[in-house]
Amino acid sequence: MNSRRFLLLLCLFGLYALAESKREPAPRFHARTTNGEQFDNATTKGKVVLLEFWTTWCPYCRAEQDTIDAVEHDFSDKGLLVLAIDVAESKKQVRKYLEEHPRKTRIVLTEDTNLAAMFAATAYPIYVAIDREGNVAGERRGAIGRGGLEQLLEKAGLQLNDEAADQAQ
């Protein structure tokens, strides 16, 4: 009986590992930030990319914006790039919002990217992590807090603490 359970667990673990190893490539994209920076699949290769899809009317997006900015600040030296993509709002609307609620991360407007159409939804925020090879590593919807963001980034291969890196060597 115990060997059957062990075999079942081993098979389940193998299926999980196989599913994790078969990541889909990120869709071909282009994005221009409000500061004029240009990004696409080629320029983001080698970085872990966190796409944050948000809107100015979303209370969860507003509640998490400082967390997103802090995560980017804390891990940008480890290869993290955050693109905060405002979905389906006018440039004027977004600029007014940013005057009242400044962001530190790179902001992309819907009209300046094809990403918003690829991950469309009716509930925000949406977070998509892309690994250093350009594959979608994970997606989360709704407010997930710093812990959820860090889990998503680890799934994409971002080394979050130096102790783990030292132990791996």
Measured CA distances, 10 to 3, 23, 155 (Å) = 10, 21, 21
CB contact burial 66-99 (16+ within 10 A = b; e otherwise): ebbbebbeebeeeebbbbbbbbebeeeebeebee
Tell me, yes or no, whether 118 lies in a domain.
yes
The tens digit of pLDDT for each residue in 55-74 reads 999 999 999 999 999 999 99
CATH value at residue 66: 3.40.30.10
Tell me, yes or no, whether 12 lies in a domain.
no
Count of domains observed in the chain: 1
Tell me, yes or no, whether 4 lies in a domain.
no
Mean pLDDT, the chain, integer: 85
Q: For the beta carbon of residue 107, count every other beta carbon within 10 angstroms.
A: 20
Tell me, yes or no, whether 87 lies in a domain.
yes
Tell me, yes or no, whether 14 lies in a domain.
no
| The pTM of the whole model exceeds 0.85 | no
Provide the domain limits for residue 113.
Answer: 24-168
Q: Are 139 and 126 in contact (CB under 8 A)?
A: yes
Tell me, yes or no, whether 18 lies in a domain.
no
Q: Which pLDDT tens digits describe the chain residue by residue (169 residues)?
A: 555 554 444 444 444 444 455 789 998 999 999 999 999 999 999 999 999 999 999 999 999 999 999 999 999 999 999 999 999 899 999 999 999 999 999 999 988 888 877 776 678 999 999 999 999 999 999 999 999 999 999 999 999 886 444 444 4
